[in-house]
Amino acid sequence: MPPFLDASLGSKALGSLSRPNLWHAALLFLGFFVLVTIPTVLLWGVAGLAAAAILLALVWPLVVRIPPEAVMRLYQATRIPPDESQLSSLVDVLAYRAELPQRPDLYVIPSATLNAFAAGSREHSAIAVTEGLLRRLSLAETAGVLAHEMAHIRNNDLLVMGLADVITRVLQLMSYVALGLALFNVFALLTGGDTISWWAVIFLYLAPALSSFLQLGLSRAREFEADRQAAALTGDAKALASALRRLETYTGHFWEDLMFPVPARRVPHPSLLRSHPDTEDRIQRLMALDAAPDEPRHERLVIVEQPMFSLVGYGPGDMRPRYRWPGLWF
């Protein structure tokens, strides 16, 4: 074990939790079907219902068959091989404590934003962190963020999150289609031609925002539980709370995603389900966990900070905004 980490286990084992992911996925599918069906029926009548059903049938294979490596390639992430570096050692220790069947692969994204996410399944997963996060957070705070993603993997949350991500991308595309249809209507009004339903245009445009509210409701309990388990895995609830404060400061707020030209445009990264509950609420719960002597947890990780070097060979000037269709991702 590396000298800067102490992975000794506490005397209390972490409890496992069975998540209601099945009905969450069913609600996401139902909400997606409704959001697609209403505008397509307004545009094409009964044929629109068939089109919505076909689109729904195409979404599921995209969720269950895309390997995590493909998601990482989408974001030009670099895989960090398992070695004796601080970050890789953190992943080793946290995966061991979380009792995962396989260690998640670690990727670093050359981006100046602060973000981290997991992809895949419990048996085959990957965790990505941006270089901006690594540069702005301490190693203890980074450990809390990694543990949060480990908790999602352990709880089999990734399938629902992947579904939410695919739905978000499809609905964002629908918003761009709505803008095109609105331009068509304006042209038709100027030339005296027939217009299409303005209600369909409005609904298509607002579909990502409407979906986001459903996803926020479903993600609340899941994120609180991931925070609880992350604090138990690291034994350091305060470090995760500190990381949450920094993340909110640098990444902004959810309502900023509802602005023109396309709702939810700031959240093409996996996934909109990561629009977490209120940060202060999460921090208060973490502080309560830290003060609870009977809360099951591992011994606190002993971490010695070491100099941070770029893991992907990029400097700050190279981490410029990059276009990720169908939206900007920085």
- 79: which strand partners? 107
Between 306 and 52, name the one with better pLDDT. 52
For 76-111, write each residue's pLDDT tens digit: 888 988 875 788 888 999 999 999 999 999 999 888
Number of structural domains found in the chain: 1
Kindly tell me if the per-residue pLDDT of 57 is higher than 70. yes
Q: Which two tokens stand for residue 300?
A: 């606190």
Q: Which domain holds residue 210?
A: 21-299
Q: How confident is the model at residue 150 (pLDDT cuts 50, 70, 90)?
A: very high
Kindly tell me if the per-residue pLDDT of 268 is higher than 70. no
- Measure the CA–CA gap between 85 and 92, rounded to whole angstroms: 11
User: What does the pLDDT average to over 62-88?
Assistant: 83
Instruction: Provide the 10 A C-beta neighbour count for residue 218.
Output: 19
User: What does the pLDDT average to over 57-65?
Assistant: 77
Q: Which two tokens stand for residue 240?
A: 């995760």
- C-alpha pair distances (Å), 330 with each of 45, 50, 110, 276: 39, 36, 9, 19
Q: Pick from 166-175, 197-206, 248-257 the range whose average pLDDT is largest.
A: 197-206
Kindly tell me if the per-residue pLDDT of 289 is higher than 90. no
Report if residue 15 sits inside a domain. no
Report if residue 36 sits inside a domain. yes
On average, the pLDDT of the chain sits at 77
Report if residue 139 sits inside a domain. yes
Q: How confident is the model at residue 16 (pLDDT cuts 50, 70, 90)?
A: very low
pLDDT value of position 66: 81
Report if residue 9 sits inside a domain. no
Report if residue 212 sits inside a domain. yes
- 80: which strand partners? 106
Amino acid, res. 261: P
Between 145 and 169, name the one with better pLDDT. 145
User: Are the C-beta atoms of residues 194 and 161 closer than 8 Å to each other?
Assistant: no
Report if residue 273 sits inside a domain. yes
Report if residue 3 sits inside a domain. no
For 202-257, write each residue's pLDDT tens digit: 999 888 888 877 777 777 778 888 999 999 999 889 999 999 888 877 655 544 55
User: What does the pLDDT average to over 13-19?
Assistant: 41
- Active site positions, annotated: 149
Tokens 């139902």 belong to which residue?
Answer: 30
- Measure the CA–CA gap between 145 and 114, rounded to whole angstroms: 11
Report if residue 170 sits inside a domain. yes
